[in-house]
Each structure stands twice: as structure tokens, then as C-alpha cells.
Amino acid sequence: MKARIVTGVLAAAVLAVSSGTASATTSYWVRVAGHFSPPDAFVASTALTYDKALVPPASSVQVAQHGTDSGMTVSMRVRGLVPGHKYGAHVHQKSCGADPEAAGGHYQNVVDPKRVTAENELWLDFTADENGDGRAKVHKKWGLRPGGAGSIVIHDKPGASGDRVACVSVPFTSVS
């Protein structure tokens, strides 16, 4: 059995395991955890809040990706947001930046601007509970293209669009 661990800023870890045989299934896990900060904060973070009212500084996020040769699951957990608020969240193409648009567009399994749907993308919409905590999980029978996804953007409303209120960079991976 081979294992590879990569760590980086924002408590990120990637673990890929395969048994080394031709018929083996390869599995991988990615986990990221951190606290949101404004882009102009003294200490740089890869979890950024663009709207401090909807995603307060120091609120937290955890993202996990688990995949095999036959698909993947992406889950997200947030704490400290606005109780009762409905948020949208999607996997985006690039890493976060000071400009909310830096994360690019939604990651799409089949790249087609006319297919902005939950089936073709990774949507993680959630409603924050009475404590401001929220969870979302999505499973797809497909995996990500290498280098095709770099973040999860949280939007001010669920669905296909909305203002970008926060972003967390994620070192998404795929079976290669």
C-alpha cells in the first residue's frame, strides 16, 4: 500500500491510497479547515469573507473531498454564520483572491454555459441553524478534472447565482 500526504496553509491535507494492483480501487481524501478573514487582514488566510455581516470574521469552515475511481463526495461544514440565513455554495474553478471574482466560474462536469444545474455542477446550498452552523454534502458519480477546481464560494442566496460573500481555497484532487 502506498500513501502520500501533502500539507499546506489552512490545515489542508491530501491522502491518496492504492493497493498497487491492476484491479485495485484508488481512494483519495482532501480536508481543509480554517477561519474566515477579510482579504485585507494582517494575517493572510485562504478562507476569505467578502461580506462581514453574512460571514463574520473568525467564523469557521471545514471542507472534505473523498473519491474513488467511481465518483466522489464533497462536504462542507460552517460555524458562526447568520442564524436562519439560506446560503448558496458551489465549487469554483480557481483559488480565492482579494477580488471575489478571482475564483472564476462554477466548476462544471460538462463545460457548457447553458448547463448551470446541480446535476452538472457541485452545489452545496445550506441554511444556517439557530447557532449559525450549516452543513452540505454532494455526491457525484464523476470526479474532477485535474486542475479544474480550486475553491468553494459561498453566495448570499441558494441556487445558481448570488453575490459572493465568502470563499475557501481547496486543493481538490482527482484519480489520476
Total residues found in the chain within this entry: 176
| The predicted structure's pLDDT at residue 20 | 52
- 59 pLDDT higher than 70: yes
Answer yes or no: is pLDDT of 97 > 90: yes
Examine the pLDDT at 130 and tell me if it is beyond 80. Answer: yes
Q: Calculate mean pLDDT across residues 130-152.
A: 96
Rounded average pLDDT over 154-169: 96
At 70-87, the pLDDT tens digits run 899 999 999 999 999 999
Rounded-to-integer distance, Cα 125 and Cα 131, Å: 17
**pLDDT at position 71, please?**
92
Q: Indicate if the pLDDT at residue 112 is higher than 70.
A: yes
Top mean pLDDT of 9-23, 88-102, 108-122 is at 88-102
- With a cut of 60, say whether residue 123 has pLDDT above it: yes
What is the per-residue pLDDT for 63?
Answer: 98
Phi/psi region, residue 33 (left: phi>0; alpha: psi -120 to 50; beta: rest), is: beta
pLDDT per position as a tens digit, 7-47: 233 444 555 554 455 555 688 999 999 999 999 998 878 89
**What was the pLDDT predicted at 9?**
36
Instruction: Give CATH superfamily name and number for 31-169.
Output: Superoxide dismutase, copper/zinc binding domain (2.60.40.200)
- How confident is the model at residue 19, as a pLDDT? 46
Q: How far apart are CA 30 and CA 128, in angstroms?
A: 24
Annotated domain spans of the chain? 31-169
